[in-house]
Amino acid sequence: MTSVLGYARTFLIGGSYEAAPLPDLPGEVLRFHEMLESLGEFVAAADAPAVSPEQLLQGPFADAMTHAGQLAILRRLAGSPVAAENFLKAEISAEHLGPDQAPPRAPGRRNGRWDPRGVTGEDE
């Protein structure tokens, strides 16, 4: 997904982007968040980008979201599903694009109802 976001960033700054594989997952996660922060800064600062926000959403951002869904499917098939989360209640902010994220506000909840799939612990 870092490469997809790097590609999106080229629409704002020009050039090209190609990421060489890193030797470990923590390095990849850090690089992803660095790319996300960089892209966020350029999106916020772009006065007249070469593409519209709609084009970014319908192109590379939709592609990245598709990859996130594919990873969720693969995790479920491997017996390690992603815990349910109600993103309407999540603390989401354009200022928090790095690896330090707020904890889930409603883990195990979908549509306001408890869903124990992939979640351990007690209902809130």
Kindly report, residue by residue over 17-73, the tens digit of the pLDDT.
Answer: 988 888 899 999 999 999 999 998 888 887 767 888 889 899 999 999 999 999 999
Q: How many CA atoms lie within 13 A of 18 on its CB side?
A: 2
Task: Parse the chain into domains and list their residue ranges.
Answer: 2-82
The dihedral formed by the CA atoms of 29, 60, 67 and 39, expressed in degrees to the nearest 10: 20
Mean per-residue pLDDT for 82-88?
Answer: 80
| pTM (2 d.p.) | 0.72
